[in-house]
Amino acid sequence: MPEDKRVVITGMGVVSPVGLDLETTWDSLIHGRHGFGPIAQFDTEGFEVQFAAEVKDFDPLKWMGRKEARKFDPYVKFALAASIMAVDHSGLDMENGNVDGDRVGVIIGAGIGGMWTWETQHKALLNKGPRRVSPHFIPMMIANMASGQVSIRFSARGPSFAPVSACSSGAHAIGEAYRVLQRGTADVMICGGAEAAITPLSIGGFASMKALSTRNDSPETSSRPFDQGRDGFVMGEGSGIVVLEELEFARARGATIYGELAGYGMTADAYHITAPSPEGRGAARAMSMAVEEGGLNPDEVDHINAHGTSTPLNDKLETIAIKVAFGDHAKSIMINSTKSMTGHLLGAAASVEFIATTMAMREGIIPPTINYETADPECDLDYVPNKAREVTLRAAITNSFGFGGHNVSLLIKRLDA
């Protein structure tokens, strides 16, 4: 059996609540700028939660034609924009032949998919009858359409599908793209996650299950991962897309390499539909699997971009899981949660956080966990509170855990490590 090929990161694109591109998003993260505010997309009168982390000032016509924009759900628009940015950032020339489209794949996950389309078309059905349901409803709404549209945009004819694993969707997409490249089935993979679920039904549903912060009077301090006063996550939206390449292919074309994706661990808690396993075993095992595949000892991991949702259970149990996976070294690991600034982007969260982790490795700066005011005795690790930290990183993990008990950890190394 041939040896697995090595996989590197060569391009990144972001649409987020704190920036409409990689540079702006990264600058916001390292300076602790948040994206929280009153919801502008619909009237929140009567809603228990009235704020979110919305993408602001996004113009789809910068990235697609008017006719296309009318036929795409917002989550697909975000994914297409982020994908175009990622491919441009990678330096790949998809149109003029420095890569064979048969050797390019697309895997983009979504936790929910076209929620806006679903809700607006359901209103049309109830108010105007079945004949007024759009013929574009199904292809606009289904959760694989970001992968489909990006494949079409770049004539990428390699492996293409869409994992749907709640908040782990983007991490599964990147991990499975990594496996495709390891096997030699493709040379290039465009992968990540996208979500646009700040809708009346989503906000109402998550609020009803008591998952969301209710700090309507102070949205700017609402997301406070690992802080004793945390009371729930803040809904976000956007897309993070990365270009992964087989190492020798990337080197041969002179690509800029931002890091090596060297480990992928995925497990299931098999415990509860929403609550993490109380011993943290599934999450710990995912981290350990990623470290082992990367050929590292646990004490060589310097940084973890945590799932860190700002919910009471998640942050406590992720802390437990990190201790199980890393033992005494857990107290030396610099842990942050960029959800303290972006909110929780659901199916897009993992890919945006993968990008933040890659940039932390590349730039030698760990973004802070903002709004950290009161230490929780059950969350007693180093969460890089409130201020970015300059440090040289050898290896880092990003964690993503989804409803249903899905756990994913991805390990990124400096290529020279």
CA–CA distance, 261 with 247 (Å, rounded to integer): 10
307 has catalytic annotation: yes
Catalytic residue among 34, 307, 379, 406: 307
Among 393, 400, 388, which residue's Cα sits nearest to residue 415?
Answer: 393
Dist. CA 182–CA 7, nearest whole Å = 7
Bridge pairing between strands 395-402 and 406-413: antiparallel
Element (H, E) at 28: helix 22-30
Cβ–Cβ < 8 Å for 174, 242? yes
Question: Which candidate in 34, 172, 344, 406 is catalytic?
Answer: 344
Fill in the amino acid letter for 188: V
Which segments of 79-227 are extended strands (E)? 104-109, 160-161, 188-195
Residues forming a β-bridge with 375:
227
Residue 140 · residue 117 · CB < 8 Å: yes
Which are the contacts of 7, defined by CB distance < 8 A and separation ≥ 6?
A: 178, 181, 182, 244, 245, 246, 247, 260, 261, 262
The residue annotated as part of the active site, out of 167, 303, 379, 406, is 167
Q: Which residue has the tokens 């040289």?
A: 392
Place of tokens 């899905």: 406
Q: Residue 2, class by beta-carbon neighbours within 10 Å (0-12 exposed, 13-18 middle, 19+ buried)?
A: exposed
- Where in the sequence numbering do the catalytic residues fall? 167, 307, 344
